[in-house]
Amino acid sequence: MRKVAVLLAEGFEEGETFTIVDVMRRLEIPCDTFYFDGPWVKGMHGMVLKGDKPFSEEIEGYDVVVLPGGRPGGENLKNNPKVIDLLQRWDKTPGKILSALCSGTTVLAAAGVIEGKRMTGYTGYAEKLPGAVFCDDVAAADQNLVTSQGPATGYPFAFKLAEVLGQDTTELRERLMYDFAGGITA
């Protein structure tokens, strides 16, 4: 089974992050959070999450990296040379998937891994994602890239990512009353 690594930097967006991890785990897709400076990481709204594992070489055994949004979470990821190096290496590695929401998409741009790829991002981010083929989809997948717009798109993003990993999300969407409530199918 393919494994998902969610990177936690100070200022991450809590709702996006919790939703992604919850959906992956409900679908029984192995998913761990990785922290940088200590296991307790403060989100942009003041919530504190205990990360699962320290950022280390162990991440190389994962197949997907998720960059949640959040201010200053996205900036903190963007300013971390270890994250940029990881994204650049994984972009060239067959089978590795890069994914991001909201301000996390700007980290992909900073790493130079979006050229010619169809992606989406937060409203007004087209100019922050130079070289990408920007679209207005809520969630998008192209080549080795999965992206979504940002706040309130955690579910469409997680479902899109799970589907890229070959999981059928129909039953979980039904249990969560997602489609019934008018949830967006990406």
Which residues are known catalytic residues?
A: 102
DSSP for 24-64 reads HHHTT--EEEEESS-SEEE-TTS-EEE-SEESSGGGGG-SE
CB 74 within 8 A of CB 109: no
| Beta strands, E only, the chain | 4-8, 31-35, 40-42, 48-50, 53-54, 64-67, 97-101, 118-119, 133-134, 139-142, 145-148
**Which residue is it, tokens 């741009």?**
109
CA–CA separation, 84 and 134 (whole Å): 21
